Structure 1
Amino acid sequence: MPSIQSLTLTYDALNEDRTFSEGDTLTGKVTLALLKKITVKSFFVKAKGDAHVCWTVYSGDGSFTYSSHRRYFKLKQFFVPEGSKDTVIPRGTHVYKFSIKLPSVSMPTSFKGTYGEIVYMLEAKLSRSWRFDRSVEQEINFVSKSFPNLQSLMSRQVGSTKKEMGPFSKGQVKMDAIIDRRAYAPGETVVIVAKINNASSSDMTPKFSLTQNVVYRANSNTKHESNVIQKLCGNFIKSKTQKEVRCVMKIPCKQMQTIHNCEIISVEYYLKAYLDISFAFDPEVVFPLVIIPRDLAPGSQSGVSVGLYPAEVSQGPSNSDFPPSAVAMGYPASPHSGGYRYPGAQQYSAPAPVYSDSQPAYAGPPTYSAQATHMSRGYNNPAPQQPSPYGSPFSSSSSSSVLHPPPTAPTFHPPPSAPAIHPYPSAPPTFNMSPAAPPYSLLPSAPMMNTDFLSQTDEAPPSYSLLFLSSADENSDAK
């Protein structure tokens, strides 16, 4: 009659997908049911992670087998210490709880392929003297979250290709393609926009495909495996025409994520946009994609831009001589409309106008203060000053996307009896978007001749003797 009735192992799930990642803690219990007491040599639970590859190459001289192995961790928790001789476990059901913390270092995601696998296991093992070992194990699903350059993977990608047609056709064909970023989670949608200029004499069809490439490595040798996950076909493009094609491709919800941190197994993804041309090599643009866990997707992170052509992310490498089409991006097609902007570039606008009647009509020289200069993407965006109502000839309109109209013609007033003197304002006047010129005060004119000009002097009037000579003087002159 056997002594052990059953040995079971269960672990606690941390999420609905029952996945674990770097630094997580495995908790659970091992249940041992005995029909009679036993003497145990050792009893423990073990967690381990291993990667293994193996393939055979056949040739005329025989066959060669290539294999390689990597171990990432091996952790044990003992219920009965190893080396025990007389540890007796009585009859009945016994429950042993365990808690094992996984290493926090970068480790690859669980994977099973044709020529290799990455497996993480939990195993409970009971050893007795002169008896076969009794063990039970369960595989755990490990998902790596080690993506150190995740922010850089949110940059958009732009590619271009050009092909001169061969002897069966004339002219050339050019294609520019763009996608909004590089990293996607399973279940997300990739939007590809392609601008095609078919200046040849051949008809062609745009096509798009998502491919998985797996590379196995052992003893400086490699084994490649390629799988096409999805393939879509666009509308027919006739000769001597231009067309923009938009393709929407969804990443399968169960798709394996990218593996980049394993020495012997790597899993990569490529999105290819190409033109199917009869009797010619197909021009293509290839974009590398990175499949990441769902909780690392941009939608689950704060402060990360999502959607096609985000405005704040840096641009990816581009081999295209032309910017992406405005129609495909949803912006006005004409750059003269004032609202057109390229993806990835910031817009700068003038500050909102502030109208105030509290300032005097004539403003003295404004008080200048130091400007704080903000640099963003190589564009200088100085803090706006408040110019005088007449406007400043040194204000630059190139740093703003809003054009300011010229001021209206000045209004002239009748000359006042005396010029009005206004004190300088204590603060510079507020900024008006299209200020009307303040009223001009003309220079005072000369005094009006409404009184005798002799009354305007302080000297006494001339005496009578000076104005009319006496008769004695006249006689003396006559002699």
Structure 2
Amino acid sequence: MPSIQSFTLSCDALNDDRSVSEGDTLTGRVTLALLKDSTIESFFVKATGDAQVSWRKKSGDRTYTYSAHKRYFKLKHFFIPEESGDTVIPRGTHVYDFSLQIPQGSMPSTFRGPHGRIFYKLQVKLTRGWKANRTIDKEIHFVSKSFPNRNSLMSPQIGSTDKEMGFFSKGKVHMDVTVDRTGYAPGDTIVIVAKIDNSSSTEMTPKFSLIRDIQYRAQGHTKNEDYVIQKVVGNCIKPKTQREVKCEIKIPHDQIHTIHNCDILAVQCFLKVYLDISFAFDPEVMFPVFLCPPELFPGAHLGVAAGPYPGGAAWGPSNTDFPYAAGAMSPYPAGAFGGPSQRNFPSAHGYSEPPPAYPEGYKNPVPQQPFQYGDPFTAPSSVLHPPPSAPAFHATPSAPDIHPSPFSHISPTPPTYNQLPSAPPMNTDFLSQSDEAPPAYSLLFPSSDTENTVERL
């Protein structure tokens, strides 16, 4: 006759989706119903967090297996300690309460993939000497909230690309793309605006794809898997025409969050905007997309504007075309602040981190904004800068003062212009409606490659 009538584990819910995060306290109870007195050697509940990957690769006649394991924490709560010896529990129903606090720190969210997983679980174990042990396993849904620099995730992104046509057509094509922000929650909508200048003799079709990339790492090797989550196709653009294309991509509610803080597994999303051209390589722009818990972006997932600029502000997103020089599609001259460069910004930890990388197979990725809180990929890439703020000028004989950019927390402080006795006075109001050409943009915003150098006006 068995001595255990029932053996159950129940946990208290901390929220509606029954998830836990860093620093949360797990509480619950274990119920043990005995039909007769029983001798117990040890009795405890344990919480663990682990990540593991494994895959096989065939090379010639041999098959290689790559695997890795990472443990984040292990917690135990003893009802009957192991060193206490045999303990007799009388017949009847016994309820044991427990409380376990998950450690603070950066830990990845729960994930399951074909070649790896990140899992958190509770296990209750009852040891009864020569009798078979009894265990209960219960998975914990863990949602990471380790996303520093949240303000930078709400900043808009800008990218551009050019292409000279080849043998089958003449001319060139230029495309500028803006995305409303970088961080989203599942269920949010990505708003994209693409300005396309088709100065070639062939037609082309704008396309927008949201891609998820999973990367497994073990023993110095990596394995990547790409999935197209959503794809939108625009209307054909005829030769010798210019067009602004607006697109909205809805992120499915069941999408997993970005995993950027695991050594052996990374999950990242990318937005790919490209022009489908027959018999030619497609010019494209790639943007990182971070999927985070909705509570990290209060109001953003409800359609509230989250950019750092007020509506219609100079150089900020608005319902109209973003500014660009006459006769050109790009909003920035080459080398100007806000345009492409090879500069890394200091992170919140006080040091420069490497720029983001993209999965193998992507063609010609354009500069992207670096991940301020740690890049899940290791290959080098360029940097996409956020747009600068509107410069303010004072009509004085001295050189104009340049106000700090709203991105001053990630870009160097502009140099101070000192008035020299030999410097000629400036009597031009650059914001007036005079016919005089304003100074070169690169003079107002010096290139990042020059440090401690001030050009005299």
8 Å CA contact 2:316–2:389 kept in 1: the answer is no
Q: Relative to 1, partners in 2 of residues 1:74 and 1:402: Cα closer, same or farther, differing over 3 Å?
A: farther
The separation in 1 between residues aligned to 2:130 and 2:433, in whole angstroms, is: 90
Match of 2:104 in 1: 104
Does structure 2 conserve the Cα–Cα contact (< 8 Å) formed by 1:347 and 1:401?
A: no
Q: Does the alignment pair 1:158 with 2:142?
A: no
User: Deviation string for 1:314-355 (max 9, x for gaps)?
Assistant: x9xxxxxxx799764599x99xxxxxxx976359799xxxxx
Report the counterpart of residue 309 of structure 2 in structure 1: 311
Unaligned runs of 5+ in 2: 327-385, 395-400, 406-412, 415-426, 435-457
- Is the radius of gyration larger for structure 1 or structure 2? 1
* CA distance, structure 1, for counterparts of residue 59 and residue 387 of structure 2: 54
- Residue type of the alignment partner of 1:307: A
Residues 351-400 of structure 1 show CA distances to partners (whole Å, capped at 9, x for unaligned) of: xxxxxxxxxxxxxxxxxxxxxx9954389xxxxxxxxxxxxxxxx99598
Shift of the 98–174 alpha-carbon distance from structure 1 to 2, 3 Å rule, reads same
* Runs ≥4 residues deviating over 3 A: 323-331, 342-350, 373-376, 396-403
Q: Which residue of 1 aligns with 2:47?
A: 47
Judged with a 3 Å threshold, the aligned counterparts in structure 2 of structure 1 residues 345 and 2 are, in CA distance, closer, same or farther, namely: same
Contact 1:311 1:343 in 2 (8 A): no
- Does the aligned pair in 1 maintain the 2:393–2:402 contact within 8 Å? no
Which residue number in structure 2 is paired with residue 453 of structure 1? none
Give the Cα–Cα distance (whole angstroms) in 1 for the partners of residues 279 and 59 of structure 2.
35
Matched-pair contact (CA < 8 Å) for 2:154–2:306: no
Contact in 1 for aligned 2:34/2:93 (Cα 8 Å)? yes
When normalised by structure 1's length, the TM-score is 0.67
- TM (norm. structure 2) is 0.70
Counterparts in 2 of 1:22-421, with a 5 A limit?
Answer: 22-299=22-299, 307=305, 310-311=308-309, 328-329=320-321, 345=389, 375-377=403-405
| CA deviation map 1:32-90 (0-9, x unaligned) | 11111100000000000000000011122311111100000000000011133331111
**Cα contact 1:348–1:401 (8 A) shared by 2:** no
Change (3 A) 1:137 1:66: same
Query: What do the CA deviations read for 1:252-294 (whole angstroms, capped 9, x no partner)?
Result: 1111011011000001110010001111111000001111111
Q: CA separation in 1, counterparts of 2:179 and 2:14? A: 34
Q: Distance in 1 between matches of 2:220 and 2:40?
A: 46
Secondary structure of 2:299's partner?
Answer: helix
- Judge conservation of contact 1:311–1:344 (CA < 8 Å) in 2: no
1:151 match: secondary structure: helix
Name the SS for the 2:258 alignment partner: coil
**Alpha-carbon distance between aligned partners in 2 of 1:181 and 1:376, rounded to the nearest angstrom:** 21
Amino acid at match of 1:345: S
Report the counterpart of residue 462 of structure 1 in structure 2: none
User: Residue in 1 aligned with 2:20?
Assistant: 20
For 2:228 and 2:116, locate their aligned partners in 1 and report how far apart those are by CA, in whole Å.
19
1:137 deviates by 1.1
Q: Structure 1 CA distance, aligned partners of 2:283 and 2:235?
A: 17
**Over residues 118-162 of structure 1, what are the superposed CA-to-partner deviations in whole Å (9 max), with x where a residue is unaligned?**
000001110011011101011010011111222222221110011
CA–CA separation in structure 2 for the residues paired with 1:401 and 1:10: 72
Contact 1:349 1:402 in 2 (8 A): no
- Structure 1 residue 401: Cα displacement: 9.1
Structure 2 SS opposite 1:295: helix
1:12 aligned partner, one-letter code: D
Q: Provide the secondary structure at the position in 1 that maps to 2:132.
A: coil
79 and 402 in structure 1: CA distance in 2 versus 1, 3 angstrom threshold: farther
User: How far apart, CA to CA, are the structure 2 residues paired with 1:325 and 1:24?
Assistant: 38
